[in-house]
Amino acid sequence: MADFYPELSSDMRRFIENQKIFFVASAPPGCEGRINLSPKGYSCFTVIDSRTVAYIDYPGSGNETAEHINRGGEVTVMFCSFDRKPMILRLYCRGEVIPLEKAGEVLPASKLEAHPNARQVILLHVQEVMSSCGYGVPYYKYLGDREALKKASEKEKGWLQRLRGG
């Protein structure tokens, strides 16, 4: 059974802080186009306050979430527990794309540890929070972050600037 809330509680914030992976889904307004769904890691997510969250966005399979946000689309972020205490937490949001140069204006200084290949910050304004049981989510063990993205950026100098359009 799902429960809905207007904002994040302190328990929900702790739950988010303990997750190693989250999923971001976005769609253009009126769903005119593709719906994007991406897994994220690298401990890049932060809760700013009970109705504002953000994550440092890294290059990967395109930049659809930013495109959807810039067109007025919505974003859903999902966290799910893979350990003993089951839970699924969804954040229904509106977003802003913040250039890295302006990240200090929106993120606490303690959360600005972006690797040089970070693309931008996605700032999200939480409209509603949904929690559900997560009983059907299997157990998985966290083995660590992949280093492939970081290594690829070090191997091919300038690829991030090309992705950013520079």
pLDDT tens-digit series, residues 25-57: 999 888 777 899 999 987 889 999 999 999 999
Q: How far apart are CA 146 and CA 151, in angstroms?
A: 10
Hey, what's the torsion of the CAs at 72, 95, 38, 155, to 10 degrees?
110
pTM of the model: 0.86
Domains of the chain: 3-163 (2.30.110.10)
Q: What is the pLDDT of residue 152?
A: 67
pLDDT given at position 146: 81
Report how far Cα 99 is from the mean position of its chain's Cα atoms.
Answer: 15
Please give the pLDDT value at position 110.
63
What is the reported pLDDT for 13? Answer: 97
pLDDT on residue 101: 86
Strand partners, 39: 23
Tens-digit pLDDT profile for residues 126-139: 999 999 999 888 88
**pLDDT given at position 61:** 67
Enumerate residue ranges in the chain where pLDDT < 70. Answer: 61, 109-115, 150-166
Q: Tell me how far apart the alpha carbons of residues 161 and 31 are, in angstroms, rounded to a whole number.
A: 30
Question: What gap in Å lies between CA 130 and CA 144, rounded to an integer?
Answer: 28
